[in-house]
């Protein structure tokens, strides 16, 4: 994903819309900690919420 991809997607949403980070494999939420620029890449640092109960995803 590029910054352009992210900006394009986020531009569709209101500035008041909550953002959730989730693991599709672990079915748990993540907490956004910070971002840091590195050479030619923007790193978003996240940590799991270990206390988040797994949630069953709806069947497809």
Residue at token pair 């569709």: 12
Q: 4 versus 50: which is more confidently predicted?
A: 4
Q: What is the pLDDT of residue 59?
A: 59
Q: 57 versus 27: which is more confidently predicted?
A: 27
Read off the pLDDT of each residue in 38-60 and give the average, rounded to a whole number: 71
Q: Chain centroid to CA 60: how far? A: 22
The span from the CA of 29 to the CA of 32, in Å, is: 10
CA 57-18-10 angle, to 5 degrees, is 100
């Amino acid at each position: 994903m590029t910054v352009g991809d992210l900006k394009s997607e986020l531009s569709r949403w209101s500035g008041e819309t909550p953002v959730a980070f989730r693991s599709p494999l672990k079915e748990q939420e993540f907490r956004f900690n910070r971002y840091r620029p590195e050479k030619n890449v923007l790193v978003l640092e996240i940590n799991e919420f270990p206390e988040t109960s797994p949630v069953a995803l709806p069947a497809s």
